[in-house]
């Protein structure tokens, strides 16, 4: 955290009437939080040998590179990633609500890749898991002994009829799942709250990263308008493809209550199909189960401001390599077929996969990736040593749902959708939104990402 950011944080907490002493306890607590779930998988150094190729250097890939480099005596690690920049994506929501500036959320990729790792600045276009090689767009084929598959997920903009990546922002249709999209949303959100009208917010029917993001931007629009005295002029509606607003029971009641208090109706079982940006209309399908039958009812809604979420899947080159699930709920998106505890591929035991691309029945968040990294790294080292992978992931994921400018409902849970509260203040009711969680979200998690997780520590 820079001195400027620290100054802003102290100013904020003093406005809240909180002593500096208490603030530093919060900081210490956040430090503890950063370590939650990672301590079990500490590995000693290993003499294991083999060429490791990491595909994708985002949250999971860079953190894996840092861990493996530290834990292997003679690391031979190649990282393939085309990007000049490393983005802290959870910050996109805060760009879209004016809390962060765009330049707050990225660093040069060259500064994030640990020294000693060979960086091939290229895109992987194919994987041959039988011959243990990947094909890149411009650097030909690269062989591996062990593969770490962490290219994140693919946002399928074109699967929303009438929309494409290039059209993002046209007809006031916005999406914060993209760096540019988040910036456009912030401008549009201010104009909308000033002018008034109807705002529609949607999620999507596929698995998607940070399921909380569409809810956050909806509640932040509401709060922004209230703070500027313009809420009366807005009608806000939330449409979800799910059967309930949230699927972790510990947090759902309060979240629904907040939507009610803020006068944002929730429409369930509705899928976004398309957007008519010229007419400013959203096309939906309501899907209702009646016995074994699904009744599909199309309908159209007018909007003045739209925040939509496109369908997401594993990247095409991953699907085409036959590495995804072939049956079950994770097959449709082509999510990588890993064992949900060891994170080792079920068919190719020299491949581990984690982060958004992995077929895991939990939320796709960097918080989840942070806990997966030491487990996947240690299990990969075991495989390199010819041993059984023993470390087990419990499905931990966290989604800090920003409920207003100053509060966050910090949803943490495991595979069983049971709460896994790592915040060490027993006096706080974490089933409700808390201001300390806002401090964590705005001031702590970003430096933790760049200086903890990506360095292979947190
Ligand atoms: C708006 C938004 C809000 C979010 N909020 C939160 C939050 O509050 N909390 C939270 O924990 N998480 C949040 N997330 C989710 C979090 O950012 C992701 O879960 C996390 O980044 C996943 O890490 P990853 O390494 O799997 O993928 P990414 O971090 O997306 O990294 C993928 C990497 O793979 C590279 N790549 C892609 N294709 C190729 C290819 N063909 N060849 C080689 N490399 C390739 C990319 O360049 C990139 O560097 C949010 C995300 C968004 C967009």
- According to the model, what pLDDT value does residue 14 have? 55
Nearest CA to ligand 1 atom 38: 151
Check whether residue 202 and residue 294 sit in a common domain: yes
Does 94 share its domain with 196? no
pLDDT above 90: percentage of residues in the chain: 87
Query: Domain end: 312, 328, 363, which one?
Result: 312
- Whether residues 305 and 168 share a domain: the answer is yes
- State the pLDDT at residue 413: 97
- Ligand 1 atom with least separation from CA of 83: 47
Q: Is 240 in the pocket of ligand 1 (CB under 6 A)?
A: no
Distance 375 CA to ligand 1 centre (A): 19
402 located within any domain: no
Say whether both 14 and 89 belong to one domain.
yes
Based on the fold, state whether residues 15 and 75 are members of the same structural domain: yes
Q: What pLDDT is recorded for position 319? A: 97
- Are residues 128 and 161 both part of a single domain? no
Final residue before a domain boundary, out of 290, 312, 334: 312
- Asked if the structure places residue 238 within a domain, the reply is yes
Q: Confirm or reject: Cβ of 352 under 6 Å from ligand 1.
A: no
pLDDT for the residue numbered 31: 47
Q: What is the pLDDT of residues 325-352, one digit of tens each?
A: 999 999 999 999 999 999 999 999 999 9
Measured by CA distance, the residue closest to atom 46 of ligand 1 is: 56
Q: Is the pLDDT of residue 58 over 70?
A: yes
pLDDT in the model for residue 40: 43
**Residue 152 CB less than 6 A away from ligand 1:** yes
pLDDT of residue 295: 96
Does residue 157 or residue 37 have the better pLDDT? 157
pLDDT digits over 184-217, tens only? 999 999 999 999 999 999 999 999 999 999 999 9
Pocket of ligand 1 contains residue 88 by CB under 6 Å = no
Q: Is the CB of 310 under 6 A from ligand 1?
A: no
Name the residue at shortest CA distance from atom 17 of ligand 1: 89
Reply yes or no on whether 112 is catalytic.
Answer: no
Ligand 1, atom nearest to 182 Cα: 1
439 within domain boundaries:
no
Residue 423 — very low, low, confident or very high, per pLDDT cuts 50/70/90?
A: confident
- Is the domain of 251 the same as that of 321? no
Q: Is 59 in the pocket of ligand 1 (CB under 6 A)?
A: yes
Query: Is 442 within a domain?
Result: no
* 3-state helix/strand/coil string of the chain: CCHHHHHHHHHHHHHCCCCHHHHHHHHHHHHHHHHCCCHHHCCCCECCCCCEEEECCCHHHHHHHHHHHHHECCCCEEEECCCCEEECHHHHHHHCCCCCCHHHHEEEHHHHCCCCCEEECCCEEEEECCCCEEEECCCCEEECCEEEECCCCEECHHHCECCCHHHCCHHHEECCCCHHHHHHHHHHHHHHHHHCEEEEEECCCCCCECCCHHHHHHHHHHHHHHHCCCHHHEEEEEECCCCCCCCCCCCHHHHHHHHHHCCCCEECCEEEEEEECCCCEEEEEEEEEECCEEEEEEEEEECCEEECCCCEECCHHHHHCCCECCCCCCCCCCCECECCCCCEECCCCCEEECHHHECCCCCECHHHHHHHHHHHHHHHHHHHCCCCCCCCCCCCEEEEEEEECCEEEEEEECCCCCECCCCCCCCCCCCCCEHHHHHHHHHHHHHHHHHHHCCCCC
Using 50, 70 and 90 to split pLDDT, how confident is the model at 13?
low
Residue nearest to atom 35 of ligand 1 (CA): 56
- Res 16 pLDDT > 70: no
55 CB near ligand 1 (under 6 Å): yes
pLDDT (tens digit, 9 = 90+) per residue, 212-251? Answer: 999 999 999 999 999 999 999 999 999 999 999 999 999 9
The best mutation among 53, 56, 118 to test binding of ligand 1, ranked by most ligand atoms within 8 Å of the C-beta, falls on: 56
Tell me the per-residue pLDDT of 137-151, one tens digit each, with 9 for 90 and over.
999 999 999 999 999
Indicate whether 455 pLDDT > 70.
yes
218 is catalytic: no
Between these two residues, 367 and 43, which has the higher pLDDT value?
A: 367
162 Cβ closer than 6 Å to some ligand 1 atom: no
Q: Give 94-125 pLDDT, tens digit per residue.
A: 999 999 999 999 999 999 999 999 999 999 99
State the pLDDT at residue 227. 98
353 lines ligand 1 (CB under 6 A): no
Is ligand 1 within 6 A of the CB of residue 83?
Answer: yes
**In whole angstroms, how far apart are CA 158 and each of 179, 227, 274, 275, 311?**
18, 36, 10, 11, 9
Residue 18 has pLDDT above 80, yes or no: no
Report whether pLDDT(368) > 80. Answer: yes
Least confident of 42-46, 207-211, 269-273: 42-46
Q: How confident is the model at residue 35 (pLDDT cuts 50, 70, 90)?
A: very low
Residue nearest atom 8 in ligand 1 by C-alpha distance = 90
Residue that is last in its domain, among 262, 284, 312: 312
Whole-number pLDDT of residue 418: 96
Residue 147 CA to ligand 1 center (angstroms) comes to 18
CATH of the domain at 76: 3.50.50.60
Task: Supply the range of the domain harboring residue 202.
Answer: 157-312
Tell how far the Cα of 47 is from the centroid of ligand 1, in angstroms: 31
In a domain, 408, yes or no: no
Report the atom number in ligand 1 closest to the C-alpha of 92.
1
The answer to whether residue 330 sits within a structural domain is yes
In a domain, 128, yes or no: yes
User: Among residues 112, 210, 218, 411, which one is catalytic?
Assistant: 210
Band of residue 428 on the pLDDT scale cut at 50, 70, 90: confident
Give me the CATH number covering residue 278: 3.50.50.100
Give 39's pLDDT tier (boundaries 50, 70, 90).
very low
> Are 161 and 260 found together in one domain?
yes
Residues 352, 295, single domain; the answer is no
Query: Does residue 44 surpass a pLDDT of 90?
Result: no
Q: Average pLDDT of 20-24?
A: 53
Specify whether 234 is located in the same domain as 288: yes
Average pLDDT over the chain reads 92
Domain count, the chain: 2
The pLDDT value recorded for residue 112 is: 98
Q: CA–CA distance from 199 to each of 179, 306, 346, 382 (Å)?
A: 21, 6, 44, 52
Give yes or no: residues 372 and 242 share one domain.
no
Task: Please check whether residues 19 and 123 belong to one and the same domain.
Answer: yes
Residue 237 falls inside a structural domain: yes
What percent of the chain has a predicted confidence (pLDDT) above 70? 90
Buried b (16+ CB within 10 A) or exposed e, 198-231: bbbbbbbbbbbbbbbbbbbbbbbbbbbbbeeeeb
Give me ligand 1 centre to Cα 279, in Å: 33
User: How much is the average pLDDT of 401-412?
Assistant: 97
Of 112, 218, 399, 411, the catalytic one is: 399
């Amino acid at each position: 955290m820079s001195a400027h950011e620290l100054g802003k944080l102290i100013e904020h907490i003093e406005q809240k009437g909180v002593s500096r002493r208490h603030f530093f306890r919060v900081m210490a607590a956040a430090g503890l939080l950063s370590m939650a779930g990672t301590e079990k998988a500490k590995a000693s150094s290993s003499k294991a040998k083999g060429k490791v190729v990491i595909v994708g250097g985002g949250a999971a890939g860079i953190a894996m590179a840092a861990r493996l480099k530290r834990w292997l005596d003679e690391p031979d690690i190649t990282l393939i990633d085309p990007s000049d920049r490393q983005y802290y994506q959870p910050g996109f929501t805060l760009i879209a609500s004016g809390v962060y500036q765009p330049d707050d959320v990225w660093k040069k990729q060259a500064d994030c890749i640990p020294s000693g790792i060979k960086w091939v600045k290229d895109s992987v276009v194919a994987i041959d898991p039988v011959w243990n090689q990947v094909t890149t767009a411009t650097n030909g084929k690269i062989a591996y002994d062990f593969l770490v598959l962490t290219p994140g997920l693919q946002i399928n903009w074109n699967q929303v009829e009438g929309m494409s990546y290039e059209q993002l922002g046209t007809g006031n249709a916005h999406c914060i799942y993209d760096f540019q999209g988040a910036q456009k949303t912030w401008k549009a959100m201010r104009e909308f709250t000033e002018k008034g009208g109807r705002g529609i917010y949607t999620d999507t029917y596929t698995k998607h990263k940070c399921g909380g993001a569409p809810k956050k931007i909806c509640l932040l629009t509401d709060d922004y308008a209230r703070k500027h005295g313009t809420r009366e002029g807005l009608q806000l509606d939330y449409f979800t493809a799910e059967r309930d607003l949230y699927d972790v029971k510990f947090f759902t009641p309060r979240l629904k209550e907040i939507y009610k208090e803020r006068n944002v109706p929730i429409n369930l079982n509705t899928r976004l199909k398309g957007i008519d940006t010229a007419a400013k209309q959203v096309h939906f399908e309501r899907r209702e189960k009646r016995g074994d039958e699904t009744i599909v009812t199309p309908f159209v809604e007018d909007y003045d401001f739209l925040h939509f979420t496109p369908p997401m899947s594993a990247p095409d080159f991953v699907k085409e390599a036959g590495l995804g699930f072939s049956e079950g709920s994770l097959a449709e998106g082509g999510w990588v077929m890993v064992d949900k505890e060891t994170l080792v591929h079920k068919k190719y035991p020299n491949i581990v996969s984690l982060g958004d691309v992995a077929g895991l029945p939990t939320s796709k968040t960097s918080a989840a990736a942070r806990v997966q990294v030491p487990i996947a790294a240690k299990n990969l080292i075991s495989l390199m040593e010819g041993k059984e992978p023993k470390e087990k992931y419990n499905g931990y994921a966290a989604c800090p749902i920003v409920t207003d400018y100053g509060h966050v409902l910090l949803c943490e849970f495991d595979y069983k959708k049971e709460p896994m509260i790592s915040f060490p203040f027993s006096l706080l009711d974490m089933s409700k939104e808390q201001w300390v969680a806002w401090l964590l979200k705005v001031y702590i998690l970003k430096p933790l990402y760049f200086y903890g997780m990506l360095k292979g520590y947190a």
